[in-house]
Amino acid sequence: MIDYGTFNVLGIPIAAVDYEAATERIIQAALEGRPLAVSALAVHGLMTGVLDREHRYRLRHFDMLVPDGQPVRWALRWLHGVYLPDRVYGPTLMLRVCERAARLGLPIYLFGATSEILEALCDRLHRRFPQLRIAGTQPSRFRQLSPAEAEELVRQIRKSGAALTFVGLGCPRQEVWAYEFRDALSMPVLAVGAAFAFHAGLLKQAPPSWQRRGLEWLYRLIQEPRRLWKRYVLLNPLYLTLILAQRLGMWPVGVECDGQPPQRRLYG
């Protein structure tokens, strides 16, 4: 188990952990009924916090941000000399947490995506982990919720008996959701991005060789060029430039919390 602590990557606190340490933290919080906001950040997720002051505030108040993308893992080594044998990929982390939850009898809740994706996801998770208890699911309404709707959603999830919640709304909405609902739910909330679609079998993952080389972004860009070209063509070079600036001492942003809490968005 590897847990070297938390390190500043462009002002965002990234946890230098492996899968075992991350899973252990999540499961322990679930057993204790303790709130825990977790997200797996690739370059896009990290840069969203770098470029948006309000979202940076949210990310700095997460309990654990794991290095989902290889370039984020590499940044820990370039900037801080911290070597991790592998990244902590959100879809893989989700499966590891589900495996532990199934063994321990901890029910899970799935929030986000569409009814079609959730139905396929539940079927595949049950086939992979027959003992896994899925306490409930709720597709996204793809809009902001009213305060009354948000309260009802919290009531439904808590009433379901779930011990932890997975959120698949896409970045940055899922991180906003996890930040805003963590304390009300009083359980681990994991923002896992495209993991729902991957594990439902509706979106192909990059081949392992591409993933090891940090080329998953290119694979996804080839799959969805119109939707993703701005994300990767613009953000990736900027990320590398800013990492170099931090390495040279020209990016002095710390990880202290700044400003006032952002206004609630209540995505749902």
Q: Percent of the chain at pLDDT above 70?
A: 87
Query: Which residue ranges make up each domain of the chain?
Result: 3-214+237-247
107-150 pLDDT, tens digit each: 999 999 999 999 999 999 999 999 999 999 999 988 898 899 99
Triad 212, 217, 219: Cα angle to 5°: 85
Q: What is the gyration radius of the CA atoms in the chain, in angstroms?
A: 18
pLDDT recorded at residue 256: 60
Q: Where are the alpha helices (DSSP H) in 129-189?
A: 147-159, 173-185
Phi-psi region of 113 (alpha: psi -120 to 50; beta: other; left: phi over 0): left
Which amino acid type is present at position 75?
A: A
Maximum C-alpha span of the chain: 52
DSSP state of 228: H
Q: Which residue has the tokens 């679609």?
A: 197
What are the CA-CA distances from residue 100 to residues 34, 79, 88, 164, 256 (Å)? 17, 33, 16, 12, 33
Q: Percent of the chain at pLDDT above 90?
A: 72
Name the pLDDT band for 219 (thresholds 50, 70, 90): low
What integer is the mean pLDDT of 172-177?
Answer: 96
What are the CA-CA distances from residue 217 to residues 78, 99, 191, 207 (Å)? 20, 27, 18, 12
What is the rounded average pLDDT for all residues in the chain? 90
What are the CA-CA distances from residue 218 to residues 93, 214, 225, 226, 267 (Å)? 22, 9, 9, 13, 29
